[in-house]
């Protein structure tokens, strides 16, 4: 609005264009009549993007009977599982902290402690009693009892469990049991409503709701599960319970929370049901889970590394190391290659590749789309079975940095034969001193330089020549101890 003066008084001019005057118009101040105009149509109000709130009652009534409480007696204590109600007074810690004598639940622990008891959740997937839950719920169990919401109880046996995905299958004897419907977690999008039903702190068939926060999350200790992240309230005892979409279909198994207190803090993680179902099928049919591998070590791509390899943007899985004699090695994969596709499926991040490869049956061929020398090519690798100790851990990326190829800030020397034997390397150049951009990028004295942008170098002259050809960003392939990784150094 504008404030103007008229004959010693003020009048207000609104933003809508309507003027209210407190003074009489004179000949000199009269406003000429406006020309006849036809008003245009009023701008239509934008349609609201969100309307109303969902009603979950139908979903809960339909699926609640198939969600069960899993009670466990274990031979040895497991600190990670929620204890069953009554096993420990929730106010006991308060009384112990303040030294109040004879407080409720403040009993001296017996010398021979009884078996620990735990509680979790699960859901029935077949009418004859197969139930899915978390591996950590039934691990070390000597006795498992399933309690349904109609108060029926069944003894259960553990069919099998898989530590890598934290999925377990248990079985009760029953007929015509209520079951859940399985959905497609690939259709989930951040912002969609989801519902959890479970037994937090032993409170059976508790319902909580929230939205999908993100998909394909990888947690530090889990390379083979692209978790669904939600803000659904999940607490100890919810483990193993189902996560539903609004169609009433199970899209995940609630498994983990991020917490600094032990309770819900807004970050919950669920195992996608397609991953869990693949595990269930193998556990039921053959009692164990087999996974494929191709024998590579991975590291993430960042903008500097992408530029150094000529990619349009950070994408794909950068190969930091190749297992000698492994499937990738036999297929012709090299360190510095970037896997951008598997069997026609695009790979945007290194976190996607382990889950995709591990799901391929050992003995099958897979087509890898490789980015190398600023172009794509296809290689075929025969997947082999992953051993229990797993595939090589993914290498960690360098921090990034910068420097002209002619002034990387490196001083290198030839690696002595006895040094090569000590570190078991094919490299021939060791960093003697480092400063400037290379130091800021994370290069350290004692690092062994293997190559530049995927091209092997054996002498200081080859290193210098390859660096000069790299342009503004140089990707050094480095060996440190038994790890190999790439470090991007950007020109100033």
Give the other-Cβ count within 10 Å of 73's Cβ.
16
Contact status, residue 233 vs residue 194, Cβ threshold 8 Å = no
Question: Could you give phi then psi for residue 7, rounded to 5 degrees?
Answer: 50, 50
Number of other CB atoms surrounding residue 420 within 10 Å: 16
Contact 149, 205 (CB under 8 A): yes
For 24-42, letters b (16+ CB in 10 Å) and e give: eeeeeeeeeeeeeeeeeee
Residues 239, 255, 308, 395: which is the catalytic one? 239
What is the spatial distance between Cα 158 and Cα 16, in angstroms, rounded to a whole number?
72
User: CB atoms < 10 A from the CB of 84, how many?
Assistant: 20
Distance of alpha carbon 291 from the chain centroid: 19
166: annotated active-site residue: yes
Closest CA to 283 of 394, 171, 407: 171
> Is 302 in the active site?
no
Q: Is 424 a catalytic residue?
A: no
Q: Do 129 and 154 touch, CB atoms closer than 8 A? A: yes
Q: Residue 128's Cα: distance from chain center in Å?
A: 33
Catalytic pick from 121, 162, 166, 308? 166
Distance of CA 138 to CAs 125, 162, 205, Å?
Answer: 17, 11, 19
Measured CA to CA, the distance from residue 372 to residue 375 in angstroms comes to 5
Active-site annotation, residues? 136, 166, 239
């Amino acid at each position: 609005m504008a404030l103007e003066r008229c004959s010693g008084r003020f009048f207000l001019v609104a933003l809508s264009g309507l003027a209210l005057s407190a003074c009489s118009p004179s000949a000199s101040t009269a406003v000429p009549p406006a020309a006849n105009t036809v008003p245009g149509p009023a701008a239509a109000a934008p349609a609201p993007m969100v309307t109303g709130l969902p009603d979950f009652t139908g979903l809960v009534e339909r699926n609640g009977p198939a969600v069960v409480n899993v009670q466990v007696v274990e031979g040895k204590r497991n600190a990670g599982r929620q204890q069953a109600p009554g096993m420990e007074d929730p106010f006991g810690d308060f009384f112990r902290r303040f030294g109040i004598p004879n407080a409720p639940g403040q009993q001296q622990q017996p010398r021979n402690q009884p078996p620990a008891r735990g509680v979790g959740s699960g859901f029935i997937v077949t009418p004859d009693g197969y139930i899915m839950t978390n591996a950590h719920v039934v691990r070390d169990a000597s006795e498992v009892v399933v309690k349904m919401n109609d108060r029926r109880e069944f003894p259960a046996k553990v069919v099998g469990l898989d530590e890598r995905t934290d999925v377990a299958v248990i079985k009760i004897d029953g007929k015509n049991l209520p079951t859940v419907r399985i959905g497609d977690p690939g259709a989930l999008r951040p912002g969609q409503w989801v519902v959890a039903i479970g037994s937090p702190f032993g409170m059976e068939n508790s319902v909580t709701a929230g939205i999908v926060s993100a998909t394909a999350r990888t947690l530090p200790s889990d390379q083979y599960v692209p978790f669904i992240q939600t803000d659904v309230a999940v607490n100890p005892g919810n483990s193993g319970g189902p996560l539903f979409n609004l169609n009433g279909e199970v899209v995940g198994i609630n498994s983990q929370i991020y917490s600094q207190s032990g309770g819900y803090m807004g970050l919950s993680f669920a195992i996608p049901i397609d991953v869990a179902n693949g595990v269930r099928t193998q556990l039921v049919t053959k009692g164990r889970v087999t996974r494929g591998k191709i024998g590579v070590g991975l590291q993430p791509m960042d903008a500097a590394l992408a530029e150094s390899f000529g990619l349009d943007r950070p994408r794909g899985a950068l190969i930091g190391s190749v297992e000698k004699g492994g499937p990738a090695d036999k297929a012709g994969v090299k360190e510095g290659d970037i896997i951008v596709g598997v069997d026609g499926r695009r790979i945007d991040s290194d976190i996607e590749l382990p889950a995709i490869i591990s799901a391929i049956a050992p003995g099958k061929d897979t087509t890898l789309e490789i980015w190398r020398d600023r172009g794509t090519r296809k290689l075929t690798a025969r997947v082999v079975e992953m051993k229990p100790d797993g595939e090589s851990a993914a290498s960690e990326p360098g921090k990034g940095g910068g420097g002209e190829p002619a002034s990387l800030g490196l001083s290198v020397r030839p690696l002595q034969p006895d040094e090569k034997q000590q570190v078991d390397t094919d490299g021939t150049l060791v960093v003697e001193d480092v400063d400037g951009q290379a130091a800021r990028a994370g290069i350290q004295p004692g690092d062994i330089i293997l190559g530049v942008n995927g091209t092997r170098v054996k002498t200081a002259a080859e290193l210098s020549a390859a660096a000069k050809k790299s342009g503004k960003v140089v990707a050094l392939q480095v060996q440190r101890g038994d790890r190999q990784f790439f470090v991007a150094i950007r020109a100033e």
